[in-house]
Structure 1
């Protein structure tokens, strides 16, 4: 029986050694799998891929630079140039319009001043003509009035002379009657005339 126990123990030892070997093999496989998994996670960090990445980067940069230099930059430069030309043209038109407006304002001011001067001149001339016409009419009316006054004075003098002549005749006749009644003798014309001459 001791021999049977030794065989069993030996078999158990072989089984344990085999199990330990399988466990070691599994651990090594797991570590290698982890290394493979870790190395395949970020290819851009692996040096063996850098050459291709640099080549593609250069190709993309070259294409982008070519597009910028031949397409986008000329278009942008053309747009900026056209915009600058448009702005410059607008500014020039604005300055021209401003200068034209200022010139028109100056012309309008000059025309207004000339119109005011002309209107004042016309008003002065009209006033002078009116004053001259009024003076002429006044002189004519004064002349007519003086003529009428002269005529009236002449008529008054004539009427007065006529009245005085009649008064003298009436007074002579009255005096002759009174003298005749008082003296009983008729008064002579020479005596009456002499008496009236002394009275007058």
Structure 2
């Protein structure tokens, strides 16, 4: 079973429990359409999102305002670059930020000739799930993921992920894996 179907199953299980949603946007059409999805915790704490043509590393610093904020700085990207004050890591379908937490932060996912921006709630845990579906239906074929910040550094950093939300996510994922395993053995 594909990764996307596994992710869809886990998401469906979480949604059926009434505890999750996902920030999703699409850009392009036909075989060139890219769909981006990102969650931050359960329920999802992404505060704003949008899809754009181009490359975030070339476009964001030239824009005067994004999500009502100015002065965005590239903290780090999976393909290098940035100030080094913040970084993003991807492990499978999960993402996590490290380094200094700022007043305003967003994650960019770049695939093909477009990218999506997801503004985060910095009072929450800075991690979650991500996924893309792109040209020719390629799954998770990122060029890179990056973290951007603006505003002042936060003193205490983001709040830890509440245990009940983490437990529901873990149980949903484990339940999805059990269902997948049983389907393969039948």
Q: One fold, TM greater than 0.5?
A: no
The structure with the larger Rg is 1
TM-score range, shorter chain: under 0.3
Which of the pair is proportionally richer in strand?
2
* Relative contact order higher in (CA < 8 Å, ≥ 6 apart): 2
Which of the pair is proportionally richer in helix?
1
Give me the TM-score of the superposition, normalised by structure 2.
0.14
Give me the TM-score of the superposition, normalised by structure 1.
0.13
